[in-house]
Amino acid sequence: MNFLELCLIGVGLSMDAFAVSVCKGLKMPRINKGQLFLIALFFGGFQALMPLIGYFLGRQFEQYIVSFDHWVAFALLAFIGGKMIFEALKGEECEDCKDERFSLRELIMMAVATSIDALAVGITFAFLQVNIWTSIFLIGVITFFLSAVGVFIGHRFGARYQSKAELLGGVILVLIGCKILLEHLELLPF
């Protein structure tokens, strides 16, 4: 997996965190730099931690799955991406937009909830022989940056970009899953 693909996976995985960050920005009458930094740090940190955990879990089962690992990677990425696309098209309002408090406990729960998909991606990284340290660094930095941008967008423009971001993230993950499968089946010329 090349650098661009890892960046695209980082963008795809960060879309849930971006959407929740937009919601958090909606509730800020003024941008609070401390809260913005904490939101970005927690979302970026958990998005980096979950693939690492998934990677080590995947490495434990690699010998049993190596003959069909490309199908597992495809299925996981297609499922995660499909779920994101479905939720974006369903058009439900972000539940966190309704809650006006800001607490560390709430932030931890949101960071875990938005990074569960990254756990499954980490499992696929184990099967694809991806450099996990480069991967989690990129995912964490991209999510940190996009979460900070999400707070600004939410504060400035409102929730109109939330479903578009989730749709884009889902499409990216599904396309990368298809690419992994087609490459392994040697159906792609490059």
Residue 68 lies in a domain: yes
Domain count, the chain: 1
| Domain membership of residue 164 as a residue range | 3-184
Q: What is the pTM of this model?
A: 0.74
CA distances from 54 to 17, 42, 59, 104 (A): 18, 18, 9, 25
Percent of the chain at pLDDT above 90? 26
Measured between alpha carbons, how far is 39 from 46 in angstroms, rounded to an integer?
11
Residue 89 lies in a domain: yes
For residues 8 and 106, which has the higher predicted lDDT (pLDDT)? 8
122 close to 51: Cβ distance less than 8 angstroms: yes
Residue 190 lies in a domain: no
Each residue's pLDDT tens digit, 33-62: 888 999 999 999 999 999 999 999 988 877
Each residue's pLDDT tens digit, 147-156: 999 998 888 8
The tally of CA atoms less than 13 A away on the side-chain side of residue 151 is 21
Each residue's pLDDT tens digit, 62-82: 777 767 767 877 887 788 778
Residue 117 lies in a domain: yes
Residue 156 lies in a domain: yes
* Tokens representing residue 104 in the block: 């560390």
Residue 28 lies in a domain: yes
